[in-house]
Amino acid sequence: FSDEVRRYIIDNALRWFDEFHIDALRLDAVHALVDNTATHLLEELTIETRRLCAHLRRPLTLIAESDLNDPKLITPRSSGGYGLDAQWDDDVHHAVHAAVSGERQGYYGDFGSLQCLADTFRQGFFHAGTFSTFRGRLHGRPLDTRRTPASSLVVYTCTHDQIGNRAIGDRPGTYLTDGQLAVKAALILCSPFTPMLFMGEEWGADTPFQYFTSHPEPELASATATGRKKEFAEHGWSHEDVPDPQDPDTFERSKLPWDEIGEARHARLLDCYRSLIALRRARPDITDPWLEHLGVDYDEDAHWIVLTRGSVRVACNLGAGQVTVPIGGSPLLWWDAPSQDETASATTIPPHSFVVLDSSVTA
């Protein structure tokens, strides 16, 4: 693109910071930016954002959404990177979702095992120069976990993309148990990464979040609908299930019913989210951003996985039957109440549940 277009893009971002007092920007689909100049557009945006940050005397944050699994985005400029503050990490979402839900269609095909989940948590990316069956080629690049904190990776149980890009925009709460939702929340909120919530997930909203548009051009509207039906066919969904993005009802169905929060089922999950967030805020071990300090153990056959965060252990049972995990400690938080043997050296976890243990204290 021309110098004028480049200037337009950068000035647009800076205006949101300066005139509208925005604290952070999510830069959508930066993998689609083609820039062959010596100083990439994203690096120049970083430079000018830092300059504006000093002038405004407040922190300004740039977060990229990228499909490349390329650490260069968040590598400091002094080390040859673009110096962005953070980037979304779809691999963590895919690894958690596939392991909990059992879904394997589309880009979930390479995910699903607990080994995959453990590797993704340890490395930051699952595809880090490995073969992606969905893409049919090698994908990604390793993250230097000694120099890049995991807090530079934004993770989530779901997003507008991961829900809206399903055929009917169904939320996880409509096809997973409440316990499975709680397990996903525990894995994300107790991880070394920066967690992000999608509106309504904290109480397991039942309403869909469907892809909706208001294109005034009939040709564009038709092309969008046709393209989405083709994409969903590759994921195993029938094109007949896909709602019309231009239909006002598609938008109306996607609104959150806030009165759900008062219902017992939703209130329980909301309380779980609040408790996990409070625990994350209270325990420095959980917010430690260095992956070298993270321990991950699992049993593929028994369907349990344990994250060790200093003295805090997060034990999750992803299976449909209760399991006994060979760890002890004082229970701090759980979905369904666990039990321990007389020596408190092993913990039994009910199906689709988790428990957070303090290993420095015996029960």
Active site residues: 28, 65
DSSP 243: P
Question: What's the token pair of residue 204?
Answer: 């397991």
Contact criterion met (CB below 8 Å) for 201 and 158? yes
3-class state of residue 354 by DSSP: strand
Nearest to residue 272, comparing CAs of 226, 204, 225? 204
Contact criterion met (CB below 8 Å) for 359 and 327? yes
Nearest to residue 27, comparing CAs of 73, 71, 90, 94? 73
Q: What is the residue-wise DSSP string for 173-203? A: GGTS-HHHHHHHHHHHHTSSSEE---TTGGG
Does the CA dihedral 112-113-119-121 come out positive or negative? Answer: positive
Amino acid at site 183:
V
> Residue 136 burial by CB count (10 A; 0-12/13-18/19+): exposed, middle or buried?
exposed
Distance CA 208, CA 210 (A): 6
Amino acid at site 356:
V
